[in-house]
Structure 1
């Protein structure tokens, strides 16, 4: 029996965004941004009331993360040790096992010492149909990590130990990869997303643990350091449209997010998903990383052809690339890449409306959103896409979305203003009609959030208002 097309297919990382031709549409906004806020300037006052017309439990989202010294002590440790300090983490103490790992992308077999940490059981307030994990870590050369989901269904049975990713910040030891063909007939892993096969029939996900396995070369004293491990579980109802939110806290605020075009990288390093035409995700990630004052060093960029503009975008593409998915649009790999920069955190979650985005913008936190749409569904875009990432940098005084859209002809053309109601629909819906008139999937509000390891009080409140602690 053929599996139904998963929502995860929208992660095609703007393969259809190639239709964004080299000439930017004349309707795109070209005005210079307003006086912009800086990270930490605004102390968001709201406490996270539900968005208008959106009951809190109509589309439940539950992000849970383990990141404090107490968190690491509470988990089940198999050879790992919590490390206190300004940024608590988890490291290998004494390896508790070993693995002969044959890299499926190189055919090379190597032996690795390993140690594990398994989270406490997290029981969901609402059974979930999907889950996306994310993590923040440092993996020196000679180390890597694996994240697994250990779930329990509402019928009391257990999921397999699903691999959610095998990851290293570099690419010299293993090839960073998701794992295909994981299913038990009730649920499946689609690249980076756990999904119930038939959410209407069930069973759904009732609870879960996350297990991190840290690896290093035998005899080495090197270790990965894991700073954050978490997951977003959700049950988003099937919907083609969403109620339009009323402009609120973010109206008239625009953040000074750098602007980078993916399209100017077309043809560069085609081994990373056909070059820049599919690099919306790493390009968006790089914009926000640099907004927070971080960027690759000159030594980091030495491998990039010096004739290429914005070499940091090429760098981001290489180091977010998923060798199984054969693309740079693996959501957790992008968040993990952001967190390789000094004192940055990154998570994948879902938001309920643009009011949630406004809370974050008001606190100085840009939001990277994932959406798919026909050219006729987003005025001024000039293209259609089966999956595309862009960065919300702010809102006009009228509440329309100011987006740094990487599917643009040049860096100067990246800033665009999109109609609020149109943008909210293409981002939050789970169902849509494609160019052939058939039903396709939407992301249901997926976004990337990157922020400092030590946020300001206002940023902390804004993150808590959208379920991130």
Structure 2
């Protein structure tokens, strides 16, 4: 996603849902898209929770699921792996046309009933997939009327693109809910239908007879249901704090590797991911970067784009593919979630955790940006004494220009709202507080407290 990119499929999702509902947003006279928004940890002005996170990552979590050929491994970072194949299957890669036979095993999570009956769910996973292995993540939900969705494929993923092309799966729906690339959404929330509970199923694949197999360190989902709103309540600023996060511009990569989302000018998501990965002291090796043209500076940004690219979506902005890429680096984890206020975000910043956020806005809505966008990611690295947002904005002409200070009230609204008016005056979607959170798999006490308080770690 970039400042100049066409409206992403999340905007399309909101438009479709808006057309499917005849409701209006009080005080606006505009149609109400049904796409939900941020997580609810307080300070939102909303009644009750709006986001529920459930991630499995501990040994007890992996043991709690149903195993068909998988096993839970103890250790510093407990994992799920393929132990004894449950069967074999042929997979034809739709992006290469190649058919190969794979051994597989499955793990199915316990049923999770979120605190919020949801209109939307996004899956996350952290894994290692050695050469000759890959994984598939599926989600099945129970509606509030007691009926079930089918098992929806939420991603077919490998760390590299040597064995399969990592991909979302188009065309999934049951007439009541639809998978939009990486997001499962109820089609007509105005009907009152919600997702009451959900299960996750992981299928791990390897070459027949191979001992190499995926290791999954974390898997789960964020479910949300935030009322549509054009404005959000203002939060009270906390103390000033700024993190020393590396600064990278996507624009210096314009025209490079157009096979990955049309080149660098569309790489806001992987560029932001790379900034935070390096903040945590990780970086691809010289050998891993050998494929990048030696004339290009910051080759690790090109590497991040290639390794977050979704061959079906034809972009680098797939929500779970970005934290999955971050988690391929030793000792690092990542998830997709929603936050409900800048207070939540300040909590993470004070704990030393930068946050990658998605926002959409007209040029005049964010002073100092100099552009408008239907969807763009940047990295929040701190707050000024006045409470304004310090962001590493990859939509900048140079690395030196990446650090920006944006007015708190403007930034808070363009990030957290679920509805907005575009440059033509039409009602469009807001991003609703969605973000990537990357942190050490073994966080410090302060980091763990912040993550637990926001529902990202089990209490």
For the criterion TM > 0.5, the same-fold answer is: yes
Distance 1:209 1:252, change over 3 A: same
**Count of residues in correspondence between the two structures:** 427
What is aligned with 1:311?
A: 299
* Post-superposition offset of 1:219: 1.0
Q: Distance in 1 between matches of 2:259 and 2:290?
A: 18
Q: Counterpart of 2:22? A: none
Whether the aligned pair in 1 keeps the contact of 2:13 and 2:180 (CA below 8 Å) is: no
Decide whether the 8 Å contact of 1:366 with 1:391 is kept in 2.
yes
User: What is the CA–CA distance in structure 1 between the aligned matches of 2:179 and 2:314, rounded to whole Å?
Assistant: 16
Q: Partner of 1:125: helix, strand, or coil?
A: coil
2:281 counterpart (286, 290, 293):
293
CA contact under 8 A between 1:51 and 1:245: conserved in structure 2? Answer: no
Q: Deviations for 1:15-52, whole angstroms, at most 9, x for unmatched residues?
A: xxxxxxxxxxxxxxxxxxxxxxxxxxxxxxxxx99544
Q: CA offset at residue 9 of structure 1?
A: 2.9
Measured in 2, the distance between the counterparts of 1:296 and 1:72 equals 29
Higher relative CO (Cα under 8 Å, sequence separation at least 6) belongs to 1
What are the superposed Cα offsets for residues 381-429 of structure 1, whole Å, 9 maximum, x if unpaired?
A: 0000110000000000110000000000000000000000110111111
Aligned to 1:91: 81
By how many angstroms is 1:99 displaced?
1.6
Q: How does 1:53-452 map to 2 (within 5 A)?
A: 54-55=45-46, 57=48, 60-248=50-238, 251-452=239-440
* Aligned mates of 2:89, 2:420 — CA distance in 1: 44
What is the distance in 2 between the residues matched to 1:453 and 1:85? 12
Once the two structures are superposed, residues 71-129 of structure 1 have per-residue CA deviations (whole angstroms, 9 ceiling, x without a partner) of 11110000000000000001111000222111010111111100000000001222100
Aligned 8 A contact 2:8 2:374 in 1:
no
Q: Distance in 2 between matches of 1:147 and 1:114?
A: 13
How far 1:203 moved relative to its partner?
1.8
Query: Would you say the 8 A contact 1:391–1:403 is kept in 2?
Result: yes
Report if aligned partners of 2:44, 2:341 keep a CA contact under 8 Å in 1: no
* CA root-mean-square deviation: 1.6
Relative distance call for 1:387 and 1:118 in structure 2 (3 A) is same
SS in 2 for 1:159: coil
Distance 1:11 1:135 in 2: 23
Q: Is the 8 A contact 1:100 1:111 kept in 2?
A: yes
CA distance in 1, matches of 2:355, 2:12: 18
Report runs of 4+ in structure 1 exceeding 2 Å deviation: 9-12, 48-56
- 1:45 aligned partner: none
Using the TM superposition, give the Cα deviation of residue 442 of structure 1 relative to its aligned residue in structure 2, in angstroms. 1.2
